[in-house]
Chain A
């Protein structure tokens, strides 16, 4: 546990740039969502250009849809394609169908999609914990889904930054 405490200082809020949040853009399917978010990460200089393709390939073998009060998906791919850790977020007007993590025969209607560009689990543990806490927090998810602007999404993420430790400990 000591190691975690030293290394998990990067919060989710620090990894999500307003330019990497898509609100209100229709996304037809999981691949379209990953491409749209992947473009934002490439523009931000966070990943190499082929990161989205790697994430789509990964999604086909190891899908990332998470069933919760509101479904969420957390696509991610080969860490060696990540230049600096970042997270892009999509809140489409209609949920996007993803396959369920660990159970590809099941589908999840993802209302929020977090494209994770993670380099090191240990260094980005706090941010990963925050993502998991958000998945489990119906109130915050509903606030994200209700967002009209990227700033609205960031406001919820920043709230999550402040109390993730307590939430996940429970």
Chain B
């Protein structure tokens, strides 16, 4: 089981949307993953236990795992690339 952390400014609005889309995609491609949400502030404690972070907010510090930008899921531009990047990190 992989663990994905989706973060946004409030941990409520855009992370919910992005988590929804990431969860559905991972299901559809058969990757067993738990997708959780947090605020970008929570990341100051790092992302230990997670395999990947997907962020709509800017993440400037090193959180120890790859960070994929989640903006595509809101604008609709670059969604396939973002999904491929997420999948690539989780299939390692």
Chain A residues near B (Cβ < 8 Å): 1, 4, 58, 61-62, 64, 66-68, 74, 76-79, 100-104, 116, 118-122, 124-125, 128-129, 132, 135-136
Contact = CB atoms under 8 A, between A and B. Distances in A.
Given A62-B57, A119-B12, A121-B16, 11 more contacts: A1-B23, A1-B24, A67-B75, A68-B76, A76-B13, A101-B71, A102-B57, A103-B71, A121-B37, A125-B20, A128-B16
Interface string B23-34: 110010000000
11 contacts: A1-B23, A58-B9, A67-B77, A102-B69, A103-B71, A118-B13, A119-B12, A121-B12, A121-B13, A132-B73, A135-B76
Interface in B41-89: 55-58, 69-71, 73-77
Contacts of B19: 121
Contacts, number: 82
Interface residues of B, number: 28
